[in-house]
Amino acid sequence: MRRWRFSLADPTWEDGVDAVPTEERKREFWEIAVRRFATHAGTRPPQPCLVVCRVTAPARWGRPPGGPLGRAKGLLDALHDDRRSGPRYGACAPLQDDHPEHVSGLAVEVRAGEPRTDYLVGRGLRIAGELLASVPVAVEAPNDIVGTLGEKARIAVDRIAYGRAVREAFASYAGLMKPSAGRARRAPPPAARRGQHLGDVNRRRLRCAQPTRGALGRRGAADGMGTNVDCVPR
């Protein structure tokens, strides 16, 4: 089998479950994951840390499984209690929450196969690939986590503006070969929360090739704005 694209130089916490999350069935995944990870014995991950998720999901109706979009938030929320619903760890949660001071990045890779999710948590992200280009986008990537109807409307407008900015930024890279994985690095405001916008950029803007789909979100300085889209070939 082809090796995974994302890995860590120093994984201090590793575990996994025979299940995968989707946007509609996150709670079922949390029930399985929390029950398993609550019994994990070992060193608690350093803070801030990087989280790598390797997901294998069944194909449906002859089509490859969906990528990181719709899975990323559920994957991260399975490691802590700072969410509105679902089972609780108490004092034994692997992570305190997913705020930038505790989680500096999330990398998600999806392949076709039997349901399985493996976590690597630690430091020193490694990416198997060659950097083709780093394209600056002078617009902050919007958060896709919606709390109210007003927020939903605002995020919809922000996503259109962000998509337009990405297209304009890539216009000067007409000769860039189609990448098979991409990463979006975001410098959010202090109170920002991570959403699925990273997977959205990866799937819809960069058109990731199958059978592997991946997305990486990395947080930078809290006072920075904008997004960088890095293209990595297959």
151 φ, ψ to 5°? -65, -35
Q: How far is CA 120 from CA 44, 142, 220, 233, in A?
A: 12, 26, 21, 23
Residue 46 neighbours by CB under 8 Å, 6+ apart: 12, 122, 123
Residue 171 predicted with pLDDT over 60: yes
Pairwise pLDDT comparison (209 vs 110), residue with the higher score: 110
Residue 166 predicted with pLDDT over 70: yes
- Percent of the chain at pLDDT > 70 equals 72
| Reported confidence tier of residue 193, pLDDT bands at 50, 70, 90 | very low
Strand ranges across the sheet with 103-112: 6-17, 116-127, 49-57, 103-112, 213-219, 181-186, 227-232, 133-137
Residue 57 predicted with pLDDT over 50: yes
Identity (one letter) of the amino acid at 63?
Answer: R
Q: How many helices and strands in the chain, by DSSP H and E?
A: 4, 8
**Two tokens, residue 208:** 């990731």
Residue 32 predicted with pLDDT over 60: yes
Q: 117-126, 135-144, 150-159, 205-214: lowest mean pLDDT where?
A: 205-214
Residue 206 predicted with pLDDT over 70: no
- Cα Rg of the chain, angstroms: 17
Residue 109, strand partner residues: 54, 214
Residue 152 predicted with pLDDT over 50: yes
Pairwise pLDDT comparison (128 vs 211), residue with the higher score: 128
